[in-house]
Amino acid sequence: MIPPPFEYVRPRTIPDAIALLQQRGESAKILSGGQSLIPMMKIRLAKPECLIDINQIEGLQYIKEDNGYLKIGGLTREADLEASDLVRTRYPILFDTATLIADPQVRNLATLGGNLAHGDPANDHPATMLALGAEVVAVGPEGERVIPVKDFFISVLTTALRHGEILTEVRIPIPPTRSAGAYVKLERKVGDFATVGVAAQLTLSADGLCQQAGIGLTNVGSTPLKATGAGDFLRGKTVDEATVQRAAQLAAEVAEPISDLRGPAEYKSAMVKELTKRALTRARERVVL
């Protein structure tokens, strides 16, 4: 299918891209990897009159630890995350997530910024970013804003980004020692969107008790969901079979799945419980005490 006609511009700087967004108004959209926007244009779910391609802007593709954060540029591709030794060795939850998205062709183009800015509750990174307590940096006509990911997702395909703003960076607080996480995903076939996905990030104390637990859920609500009660329940406790079981139940109670082609709502709720158990267990196994 062929998308409707559109104007195409390729600014070389962020200020130029912001100016273009303002000039062209609401009918203009940022184009990053195009892996969500172009398919939506083909099926007429999006009809932007102008695409502002930011791929020529330098300095938006990086992965680095700096000043207490893992900082990832908005244009960083899934393939960059997959290939990064830093991500693989120090952020296994992020490595899990990137490698479970779509297929290698999509991952060569799709960006982390686009995955979050798209605001699709079926996308995988949002749950992981909720579990990690991440923030996004948005740059617009009024300057820079830092938005906690927990406040970023408003409703289906709607985020806290304002028209004129570009997501330039994702910031993940560097987890303390004795931390680890995991992302697990149930999909109908390899490369599919999640039927259910669960991200879990744990920090343990020296004596093995849970200090911090972040749990994010994919595709079981109109936004990605944070299972705050489940994380709070684990704090101060040993992460063992009994507490994991209870936390998984609490996570399932947060989910608001709908019945669709991926399965009935009851099945999805049951899968949230099972996948939460698996994600917490894998995260616990990965913590080096």
Ligand X SMILES: Cc1cc2nc3c(=O)[nH]c(=O)nc-3n(C[C@H](O)[C@H](O)[C@H](O)COP(=O)(O)OP(=O)(O)OC[C@H]3O[C@@H](n4cnc5c(N)ncnc54)[C@H](O)[C@@H]3O)c2cc1C
| Residues making contact with ligand X (CB under 6 A) | 29-37, 39, 74, 101-102, 106, 109-111, 113-115, 117-118, 120, 123-125, 161, 166-167, 193
Shortest approach of ligand X to residue 240 CB, angstroms? 32
Shortest approach of ligand X to residue 159 CB, angstroms? 8
Residue nearest ligand X (C-beta atom): 114
Choice between 47 and 64, CB closer to ligand X: 47
Can you read off the two tokens belonging to residue 176? Answer: 């303390």
Choice between 22 and 177, CB closer to ligand X: 22
Alpha carbon distance 94, 103 (integer Å): 16
Shortest approach of ligand X to residue 94 CB, angstroms? 13
Alpha carbon distance 229, 217 (integer Å): 13
Choice between 113 and 234, CB closer to ligand X: 113
Helix, strand or coil, per DSSP, at residue 41: helix
Q: Which of 11, 5, 43, 51 is nearest to 27 (CA)?
A: 51
Q: What value does the CA radius of gyration of the chain take, rounded to a whole number of Å?
A: 19
Shortest approach of ligand X to residue 100 CB, angstroms? 7
Q: Which of 138, 172, 192 is nearest to 30 (CA)?
A: 138
Distance of CA 283 to the CA centre of its chain: 18
Choice between 75 and 280, CB closer to ligand X: 75
